[in-house]
Amino acid sequence: MSQPLGAPPLPRKSIPGVAVRLLRVLGALAAAAAVVFLLAHGLELLRDRQAVEGFLGEAYQRLGISNDAVTLTEGGLTALSGKLALGLIALLIGVGGAWAVFWAAHNLVAQLPYRWRERVVPFVFVGPAILFLCVYLVLPAVKTISASLSEDVLAIPDLVPEPYRESPRVAADFVGGETDWTFSGYVLDAGELELARVRDGERSALLLVRPEQVPAEGGEEQRALTLTAIGLRNFEFAFTSQDMHIAFRNNVLWLIVCTGISVALGLVIAALVDRVRYESAAKSFIFMPLAISFVGASVIWRFVYAWQPPGRVQIGLLNAVVTAMGGEPIPWVVESPLNTFALIAIMIWLQTGFCMIVLSAALKGIPHEIVEAARIDGADELQVFLRVTVPAIRGSILTVGTTVFIATLKVFDIVYVMTGGRFDTEVIANRMFVEMFTFRNFGRASSLAVILLLVVVPIMVVNVRNLRRQGINE
């Protein structure tokens, strides 16, 4: 290519210029290598407790704090000083790590020729986020859908004799002998609970071996189960079992009652506090539960609902009120269907503040003239509220409702902590957790997760469509 006219002649590349450039490239490479090295080592250290103990022990030894050093190397990370040191390492790696990676990547890219750089830079900026989203959300979602259709825990107790457990033929031997099920490894081997994965071509299943649950007979029946254990069986369970019927009924109750009352109450409170001078203080009180965890809220309300047999001192607030008025103490969390409403009340307590804050901001955005005009036309306060105010903030009400709806759909902590799903309080999200965490029945748990996803698909579609309509920055 010839030089454009009028441009000053390019300086000839001098040797020092090349050397500087080379040095820069080498420097960027070295920096990147150093970041990778430090992060890899740091993460390794954090992964392996013993390594941390050894590392800290050695460090303490060098610093001359030998008492603590001995405790640490002998496996005493519970010592407060060790814990704090571990925390510092963790924070350094966790907080500095992400920045260091971007910085190193930027240095590397900066060494590329201009045209290449312009093409690569966007992916340095966006790439890590996309990578994380793929690894932690997109791929898992695909796998969960596939697992819901293809996996089942086969509750075959203790049918696998000890010597067979390591054998690749184990499944073929006990799943009936005629199939091509092959053993493809233990998923979990934790003493009382063992899970093996077996495969037959496309189909795969998990085998649960729980020595404490050994029905002497029934082996045959269980074997028959294995062969039909695929396809929509997990969903069949989800839609036909008695437990799940209760869970579905409760979920519908949660969604309607919790969303409805939270939004309505939030709206009314927002409208009321708009008229008083201590507005911000009142809002703070109602809004405070939002900072409290579901578990914390559950303890708070478990205490409010606490029940003692009649005649004993009631230390729970509600039963104290009930008995003071001459009633019998009510076992709020045990009596069905009252208990489901008692649990829903906790979620309402948590979510109303959120609704109030958003709707209050929306209320303040309504032009004064509209409200005044309605008043002058002779509308009373209730009419103004229902005919003018509410329609004006319809959009905000919808958004808030959707947010509370999604939060309620996924609620698990409250049920898990308050009742564990007993006394007919089961909901889908809690059952999903129990199937996964307690029973290790990943196929069923996956099918329940898919059901939760199906409920929010319409919301997802609307969100993406709105985005399309608004367009994104070019």
Residues 254-293 that bind another protein (CB under 8 A): 269, 272-273, 275-276, 282, 284-293
Complex with another protein: residue 157 or 316, whichever CB lies closer? 316
Q: Any contact of residue 20 with another protein (CB under 8 A)?
A: no
Q: What is the CA radius of gyration of the chain?
A: 31
To the nearest whole angstrom, how small is the minimum distance from the Cβ of residue 267 to another protein? 13
CB of 15 to another protein, least distance (A): 26
386 touching another protein, by CB under 8 A: no
How many CB atoms are located within 10 Å of the residue 467 CB? 10
| Nearer to another protein (CB atom), residue 174 or residue 339 | 339
Task: Select 239 or 437, whichever has its Cβ closest to another protein.
Answer: 437
Considering the complex, state which of residue 314 and residue 340 has its C-beta at the smaller distance from another protein.
314
Count of residues engaged in binding another protein, rule: CB under 8 A? 122
Q: Which of residues 302-341 bind another protein (CB under 8 A)?
A: 302-304, 306, 313-317, 320
**181 counts as binding another protein under rule CB under 8 A:** no
Interface of this chain with another protein, residues 60 to 79, rule: CB under 8 A: 77-78
Binding mask 182-221 for another protein (x = CB under 8 A): -----xx---------------------------------
- CB of residue 33 vs another protein: minimum separation in angstroms? 19
What distance lies between CA 147 and its chain's CA centroid? 19
The window from 155-163, 221-229, 255-263, 395-403 that contacts another protein (CB under 8 A) reads 395-403
Task: Check: CB of residue 150 under 8 Å from CB of residue 443.
Answer: yes
Question: Which residue's structure tokens are 């709020």?
Answer: 332
| CB-count burial class (<10 Å; 0-12, 13-18, 19+) for 466 | exposed
Contact yes or no for 397/360 (Cβ under 8 A): no
DSSP-assigned letters across all residues of 76-140: -TTSHHHHHHHHHHHHHHHHHHHHHHHHHHHHHHHTS-HHHHHHHHHHHHHHHHHHHHIIIIIHH
In the chain, what is the straight-line distance between the N-terminal and C-terminal CA atoms, in Å? 33
Residues 81-110 close enough to bind another protein by CB under 8 A? 83-84, 86-87, 90-91, 93-95, 97-99, 102, 106, 110
Tell the smallest beta-carbon distance from residue 307 to another protein (Å). Answer: 11
The one among 294, 363, 408, 434 contacting another protein by CB under 8 A: 294
Q: Quick one: 14 exposed, middle or buried, by C-beta within 10 A (0-12, 13-18, 19+)?
A: exposed
Query: Is residue 402 within the footprint of another protein (CB under 8 A)?
Result: yes
Q: Which is nearer to another protein, 8 or 64 (CB)?
A: 8
129 burial (CB, 10 Å; 0-12 / 13-18 / 19+) is exposed
State the minimum distance, in angstroms, from the CB of residue 163 to another protein.
Answer: 25
Q: Please, which residue, 156 or 404, has the CB nearer to another protein?
A: 404
Residue 268 Cβ vs another protein, minimum distance, rounded to whole Å:
8
Cα separation, 190 vs 173, in Å, equals 23
Nearer to another protein, 2 or 473 (CB): 473
Q: Find the shortest distance in angstroms from Cβ 82 to another protein.
A: 10
Phi, psi of 207 (to 5 degrees): -110, 125
Q: How far is the CB of 187 from another protein (least distance, A)?
A: 7
Tell me whether residue 23 is exposed, middle or buried, using C-beta atoms within 10 angstroms of its C-beta: 0 to 12, 13 to 18, 19 or more.
exposed
SS3 per residue for 261-317? HHHHHHHHHHHHHCCCCCHHHHHHHHHHHHHCCHHHHHHHHHHHCCCCCCCCCCCCH
Q: Which residue in 467, 457, 459, 355 sits closest to 145, CA to CA?
A: 457
450 is a contact residue toward another protein (CB under 8 A): yes
Paired strand residues for 197:
206
Please identify, using beta-carbon distances, which residue of 37 and 437 lies nearer to another protein.
Answer: 437
Q: Which of 5, 10, 15, 129 binds another protein (CB under 8 A)?
A: 129
